Amino acid sequence: MLENVVFLDRDGVINEDSSDYIKNWKEFRFLPGSLEALKQLHSNDCTAIVITNQSMIGRKISGLENLKEIHRNMNDAVKRHGGIISDIFFCTHRPDESCDCRKPKPGLILQAQKKYDIDLSSACMVGDSAKDIECALNAGLRYAVLVRTGNGKLSELTLTEKKIIPDYVAEDLMGAVDWILDTGYSIRDTG
């Protein structure tokens, strides 16, 4: 059973988000500190898995090959900086298609759980939207962490209106990772 899993949203958490979507690698920009945060997760025996809605495919704004190139280049950059993203699960559906995989539904997390035999009750989700936090709750994850990057600040208001309280609110991915590691979440060699 895979433990110490940290599910991560992509846009607004790892990289800058855009209301026009991130359609190709030229538009992809890592957020400050995100590469170091991914390295810290890997260094502390946590498994990072990206869970992302990418309706730009279903909306015909960009193609699957562009998405695969973005993910390939993102993974290469993360590895060069000492981190690892173990897998990426994405939903290409539009919101009106009512699929089971689009966050806030837990379908992507359930796909990952099935593939890797993840103990969801010990897993964590880091996201910048209310959908991410709701997805974590819908999947029965141990922790749901909101970051204030991307849509995070606006999402705090949305979550407050819905009376949903994340386990922690961090300024950015590094702050989220620091909190996750401080909870004793990782397997550490205490020597």
Angstrom CA distances, 126 to 20, 98, 167, stand at: 22, 23, 10
**Residues annotated as part of the active site:** 9, 11
Q: Which of 47, 32, 82 is nearest to 180 (CA)?
A: 47
Dihedral sign for Cα 172, 8, 96, 139, please: negative
Residues 6+ apart with CB under 8 A from 87: 49, 50, 112, 115, 116
